[in-house]
Structure 1
Amino acid sequence: MSDRESIISIEKSIRYISAHVKSHGREILKKYELSPLQFVALQWVDDKVGITIGELSNRLDLAHSTTTDIVDKLENGGFVERQKYEKDKRIVLVLMKDKGLQIIKEVIAKRVSYISEITDHLSSEERDMLPGILESILHESEKKSDE
């Protein structure tokens, strides 16, 4: 297999694995009547304590108005809350509530269980190497995204 063919295979595998992991975790979203996009927004709110709608809009690559609609639905569902930034009252932050944290924990637990199942066939050496390899790829990906 050439280097190019190998890279194409890696891209396809990462894309498919990601889709399968997301799909298994999303089963829980039906219980909470959340869309996959609303859950992604919820994850960004969890990742950055006190994110603005503008920042969230950039992360989701959506129009500000669309992001506002998503935050409205999340707030109405009791998953997040808006709060004025103490240092500058013009800035409104989106903050996670306990209900939002709970759904993230449930989805991540479901995903972790699925990943455990699909990596169970690996040797213990392969399982030990995999996190380091993936972290290294993630680190490089983040560096390229920041450029």
Structure 2
Amino acid sequence: MYGESDIISIEKSLRYIAGRVRANGREILKDHDISPLQFVALQWVGDKEGITIGKLASHMYLAHSTTTDIVDKLERANFVKRVRSDTDKRQVLVIMESRGKSLIQKVIDKRVAYIAEITANLEESDRVILPRVLEEVLRESERLIND
């Protein structure tokens, strides 16, 4: 078991690394007419293969009206589109357009390059174990959320 100072150090490291990876990838957004918050919404839309504005608002911890404004801007920029659900015509889903997929891929490619750069000088044994340890931590965090 870790001591409190170890847990504090892990939390800080994860937070700083995640923030730096995110910031590095978001440099690309300067070349597109999209804010970081709009990009987060775009990622949720891409992850969910059709999501309602209500669910998107819930995932982003935003008001429905704020989320609607974000989706409106993304739709005007041809990053997403709204479609009626095939199973329930009352539902309107937000789905990704090819322009949105392309932007997400550019950001991910930049993030991957950055992660490769910041891990390049790790010892070989650490480079081998790091992905496995992070995947296990992720699985455990998901298990705790779903319990």
- The correspondence of residues 8-87 of structure 1 with structure 2, limited to 5 A, is 8-87=8-87
TM-score (norm 1): 0.96
1:127 and 1:37 mapped to 2: Cα distance?
Answer: 32
Residue deviations 1:6-46 (CA, integer Å, cap 9, x gap): 00000000000011001100100011121111111111111
Which residue pairs with 2:146 in the alignment?
146
Extract unaligned runs of 5+ from structure 2. none
Deviation of 1:88 (Å): 1.1
Tell me how many residue pairs correspond in the alignment: 146
TM-score (norm 2): 0.96
Deviation of 1:127 (Å): 0.7
1:94 and 1:145 mapped to 2: Cα distance?
Answer: 25
Which residue pairs with 2:131 in the alignment?
131
Where 1:88 maps in the other structure, the secondary structure is: coil
1:134 and 1:142 mapped to 2: Cα distance?
Answer: 12
Residue deviations 1:84-133 (CA, integer Å, cap 9, x gap): 00121110000000000000000000000000010011012111110111
Deviation of 1:144 (Å): 2.0
